[in-house]
Amino acid sequence: MLGVPAADRDLFKGWSDSLARGLDPDFPLPASEIAPRDEAREEFAAYFRKLAAARRAEPPGRPPERPCERL
């Protein structure tokens, strides 16, 4: 849906899992998981900045291929 290449889906899932663990206010993260979660957040953001730059570099007028482009 977000246009993540198939080759990167395991990487994306790892970041998503790390980030999601810290979302439930009833289950705060133990201190040992805070640094890995923060690192995952930075890697996730850097990855999507790079992916967005690649998408912007694509030729204009290209028909939408990814579900999020069809919205």
Domain map (residue ranges) of the chain = 6-21+29-56
Q: Please report, in tens digits, the pLDDT of each residue of the chain (71 residues total).
A: 577 888 999 998 999 999 898 788 888 889 999 999 999 999 999 998 998 898 888 877 766 666 666 55
The reported pLDDT for the residue numbered 65 is 66
Give me the helix-helix angle, 9-20 and 31-56, nearest 10°.
140
Neighbours of 18 (CB within 10 A): 19
Residues ≥6 apart with Cβ < 8 Å to 45:
none
Could you give the residue ranges of the DSSP H alpha helices within the chain? 9-20, 31-56
At residue 47, the pLDDT reads 93
pLDDT at residue number 1? 59
> What pLDDT is attached to residue 63?
67
The pTM of this model reads: 0.71
Under 8 Å between Cβ of 21 and 33: yes
